[in-house]
Structure 1
Amino acid sequence: MIQTEVKSIEDALNEAILLAKNKQTPQLLSTTDTIDAINPIVFFNQAKQIKGERVFWTSSFEHFYLVGAGEARALTSASHRFEETEKQWKEMLSDAIIFNPYRVAGTGPIAVGGFSFDPQKENTGLWKHFEESRFRIPAYLLTIEKGICYLTINVIVCPEDHPTQLFYTIKKNKQLLLGNHDILPEGPKIEKKKEIKPSEWKEIVTKATNEIKKGHADKIVLAREMQVTFDRPADISAILDKLIQTQTNSFIFAFENKNDCFLGATPERLVRVYDQQLFSTCLAGTAPRGETIEEDQQIGLELLRDVKNREEHDYVVQMIREAISACCEQIEVPKNPVLYPLKNLQHLYTPVKASLKNEYSIIDVVKQLHPTPALGGLPREKSLEFIRENEILDRGWYGAPIGWFDAQKNGEFAVAIRSALLQGGKASLFAGCGVVKNSEPEAEYQETNIKFTPMLSVLGG
């Protein structure tokens, strides 16, 4: 990996082509510079004009954005996916030519993507365009941090490439991305909703509680699907704009593959690493918001006192502490949770802080944490086995880690819940709940209905 001062894009292309000729192998060239302020949703919408799919990520409460257009390179793997992702990333960086004087997290070459929930689960056609693991190095990346906009250009340079031709393509694409700020299109409206086998799902909840009562597991998380049909093909830009406006304490993401797009607004951070400082959160235990301040406070107080929800939350806290203990030091975990309010829901919340040891990366931590008891259950293997054999759903990337990491060992992953898979004029929505020994099928069913609300509200439902 070569770190140098900023050069003109023409000089950088000439240098990269010369190196590619000397090595007789393609080279990744990455250049970063500041640009004038631009709306990230507008940039995402303009990216429809660039060849290749788009990605979007924001921690909206921190006003941090990553928006990618096109694909310079992808990291994919079906087996040993965590290790292979790390290996491919390091190999790519070892030959990369990087011009980035800013050293801001999320600038320069970054990988944005995710993993499937369970590679051992039998796949259906629903997620046919989403591999078990896929990370994209965007060809053009907008990063917004503390109000400053950065544009990173990543290009694979081959020995036979001509610098003038590459420069012309880059210049043309920059004009498309940064100019002609059109008004955003309108979002879709739902014409039809269909729940997938709700009665059968409740029967599986009963089966899970029986397994738990027999001592075969402590907790099993079950998810279900709702299908919706729109009045027209859904425009992703309009949906993301609504999510940013309404889900202010969430991670908002979108990942396009082929003609499909997986997007959502999840409140659940899996892990963040900045300058080797790790931050994770335990978010388990759910209740609705009240219509008045008094009702809202009462519901929150009941959630804090609820035995079932506190037990479910403590499972996650203990698992995260145990999972990061091998690769972290100076672990800090508060004794009791607090309330984490969202627009439609409120959760029990416990933050976890630690220092990541130098020999470990964020991918190592993700491997240890996924799936948390909030999405799989306890014990991990017993609950996953039950889900594989009984759940009437192909989870795909739902409930799995989705996020990004950069060349400076920074990164962040969230758990992809409160999400939907968009496929033109239709979408599949996903929601789940934690089943324990005293769970009641109807109550768990109603909890999933509440969890469908954030996505339904922005999809025109």
Structure 2
Amino acid sequence: MIHTDAPAPGAAEPRLVVRTHAVDETEPLIPRTDPRSPLVWLRRGEGVVGLGEVLRIESSGPSRIEDAAAAWSALADAADVDDRVGLPGTGLIAFGAFAFADESAATSVLIVPELVIGRRDGRAWVTRVALETGDRESGEAGGSGEPGEVVGDGFEVAIPEPAPRRKIPHVAFTPGRVPPSAYESAVAEAVRRIDAGELRKVVLARELVGELHEDDGLRATIMRLADDYPDTWVFAVDGLIGASPETLVRVDHGQVSARVLAGTSARGAGEASDRDRAVALQHSQKDRDEHALAVASAVKRLEPHTARLDASPEPFTLQLPNLWHLATDLKGTLGDGSTSLDLVRAVHPTAAVAGTPRRVALAALAELEGFDRGRYAGPVGWVDGDGDGEWAIALRCAQVGADGRVTAYAGCGIVHDSVPADELAETDMKFRPIIEAFGG
């Protein structure tokens, strides 16, 4: 379903009018976002932020990604786009977040902002989007700042000034519907089913809940994530905020890539201990087996869409501030003209966040977790008018509701030799980024 402020039925179909121009500078990006409804996609300080909302596409159920992709394609085909920059993230784009499960009560969304501000490879730009029907044009670029600046061919836009840095809001998190003891029991039951041959791996998550009282806190929270975890995808879409290390899929002019993560270890207390932890992870048979299942799942889903797909010969250790991951990069060339949303639909959910076999694992986690994941572990990212885009798995994240309720999520891959207490401790490590980002 597409939501806009367009005229009533019977009027001409609305058309998006999109203008992208280069500007001298847009850094810093996060302080220019709307603190109450931030739209953010950044890594290493580069990416895009959005302000305002021209329209949104909402979907749900088993066909939520397919339905959103079809609606987006129709909008993009009809759009009037003038892109003077031509980089990933310029022109017409939508920020998106999809529910993890087919039966989830959470709505999946694609949001087209009124104003996009971006930077990549040392270049900066702004994109203004308006909704046009006949002679009517709506959706003036939002935001506060200096009077409009003419940057070319009558293109006038007000780039918001960066807001002053504010104190991070404090959210006190407590266990959600599944307390720690119940989580350990669920892990033990999952191991029993794996040992019985019912499945090979299942990913079990838990949640923490809290209340956000400060109105202007989200910008500071996102900045904390970007500062502490610069090598992750830092995102904010429709209240879903996080810093994900895992690339679900990236499509850029026929090239496709992904990063698969599975297998985790805490960082060491000192340099020698830290190095030992990384080496131990790389040689852990449990973690390598778990990782191999996740890689095989991603390759199986991507390969039919590619003319060539290469994987890292061996998993490598990815260093994050609070933990180590085993990682494998996939790179290839598309062979069937798929868009990024087509590939998102093909690969989600991966074994890294669901388990394997997929159908059995999904049924097991739905039964054992005891809550609706919402958009946690679902696809989050952006798509452009040509169908290219960057999508991560929504990890190390929290959903902020309109009522101020904050729900944080973390999960672990359970295999035959998983130990419940160890898996609980791993979720605590994975909660750390979002707890600290909310002042914990």
Whether these two folds match at TM > 0.5 is: yes
- For 1:309, the equivalent position in structure 2 comes to 287
Change (3 A) 1:247 1:32: same
Structure 1 residue runs of 5 or longer lacking an equivalent are: 1-22, 124-129
- For 1:12, the equivalent position in structure 2 comes to none
- What CA distance in whole angstroms lies between the structure 2 residues aligned with 1:179 and 1:429? 30
Tell me if 1:400 matches 2:389.
no
Shift of 1:281: 1.2
Give the SS at the match of 1:155. Answer: strand
Shift of 1:68: 0.8
Give the SS at the match of 1:117. Answer: coil
User: Bigger shift: 264-273 or 30-39?
Assistant: 30-39
Letter in 1 for 2:354: G
Tell me if 1:436 matches 2:415.
yes
Shift of 1:107: 0.7
Please give the residue correspondences for 1:62-73 in structure 2 after superposition, counting only pairs within 5 Å. Answer: 63-73=45-55
Tell me if 1:427 matches 2:411.
no
Change (3 A) 1:234 1:314: farther
Give the SS at the match of 1:322. Answer: helix
Kindly indicate whether the alpha-carbon contact (under 8 Å) linking 1:55 and 1:255 is maintained by their aligned counterparts in 2.
Answer: yes
Tell me if 1:59 matches 2:43.
yes
Change (3 A) 1:95 1:156: same
Tell me if 1:320 matches 2:325.
no
- What CA distance in whole angstroms lies between the structure 2 residues aligned with 1:31 and 1:111? 14
Give the SS at the match of 2:33. Answer: helix
- What CA distance in whole angstroms lies between the structure 1 residues aligned with 2:64 and 2:404? 32
Change (3 A) 1:54 1:459: closer
- What CA distance in whole angstroms lies between the structure 1 residues aligned with 2:161 and 2:73? 37
- What CA distance in whole angstroms lies between the structure 1 residues aligned with 2:414 and 2:85? 47
Change (3 A) 1:393 1:138: same
Tell me if 1:209 matches 2:191.
yes
Tell me if 1:37 matches 2:16.
no
Shift of 1:209: 0.8
User: Bigger shift: 309-318 or 407-416?
Assistant: 407-416
Shift of 1:90: 1.6
- For 1:113, the equivalent position in structure 2 comes to 96
Once the two structures are superposed, residues 102-137 of structure 1 have per-residue CA deviations (whole angstroms, 9 ceiling, x without a partner) of 22111111111121000224x4xxxxxx41x21011
Q: Report the structure, 1 or 2, having the larger helix content.
A: 1
- For 1:182, the equivalent position in structure 2 comes to 163
Kindly indicate whether the alpha-carbon contact (under 8 Å) linking 1:269 and 1:280 is maintained by their aligned counterparts in 2.
Answer: yes
- What CA distance in whole angstroms lies between the structure 2 residues aligned with 1:278 and 1:194? 39
Shift of 1:285: 0.4
Tell me if 1:363 matches 2:325.
no
Kindly indicate whether the alpha-carbon contact (under 8 Å) linking 1:67 and 1:143 is maintained by their aligned counterparts in 2.
Answer: yes
Shift of 1:54: 3.3
- What CA distance in whole angstroms lies between the structure 2 residues aligned with 1:192 and 1:415? 23
Change (3 A) 1:207 1:181: closer
- For 2:182, the equivalent position in structure 1 comes to 200
- What CA distance in whole angstroms lies between the structure 2 residues aligned with 1:179 and 1:101? 21
- What CA distance in whole angstroms lies between the structure 2 residues aligned with 1:171 and 1:446? 44
Kindly indicate whether the alpha-carbon contact (under 8 Å) linking 2:247 and 2:391 is maintained by their aligned counterparts in 1.
Answer: yes
What number of residue pairs does the alignment pair up? 417
Shift of 1:448: 0.6
- For 1:102, the equivalent position in structure 2 comes to 85
Shift of 1:358: 4.2
Once the two structures are superposed, residues 50-109 of structure 1 have per-residue CA deviations (whole angstroms, 9 ceiling, x without a partner) of xxx43111122xx42110111112222224222212211121122211111222111111
Kindly indicate whether the alpha-carbon contact (under 8 Å) linking 1:276 and 1:358 is maintained by their aligned counterparts in 2.
Answer: no
Shift of 1:336: 1.4
Please give the residue correspondences for 1:259-274 in structure 2 after superposition, counting only pairs within 5 Å. Answer: 261-274=239-252
Tell me if 1:25 matches 2:7.
no
Kindly indicate whether the alpha-carbon contact (under 8 Å) linking 2:397 and 2:434 is maintained by their aligned counterparts in 1.
Answer: yes
- For 2:396, the equivalent position in structure 1 comes to 418
Kindly indicate whether the alpha-carbon contact (under 8 Å) linking 1:223 and 1:393 is maintained by their aligned counterparts in 2.
Answer: no
| TM-score normalized with structure 2 length | 0.89
Structure 2 residue runs of 5 or longer lacking an equivalent are: 1-10, 148-157
User: Bigger shift: 243-252 or 420-429?
Assistant: 420-429
Q: Matched residues, percent identical?
A: 28
Superposed CA RMSD in Å reads: 2.2
- For 1:222, the equivalent position in structure 2 comes to 204
- What CA distance in whole angstroms lies between the structure 2 residues aligned with 1:158 and 1:112? 23
Please give the residue correspondences for 1:78-97 in structure 2 after superposition, counting only pairs within 5 Å. Answer: 78-79=60-61, 80-97=63-80
- What CA distance in whole angstroms lies between the structure 1 residues aligned with 2:194 and 2:392? 28
Give the SS at the match of 1:428. Answer: strand
Q: Quick one: which of 211, 226, 229 aligns to 1:244?
A: 226
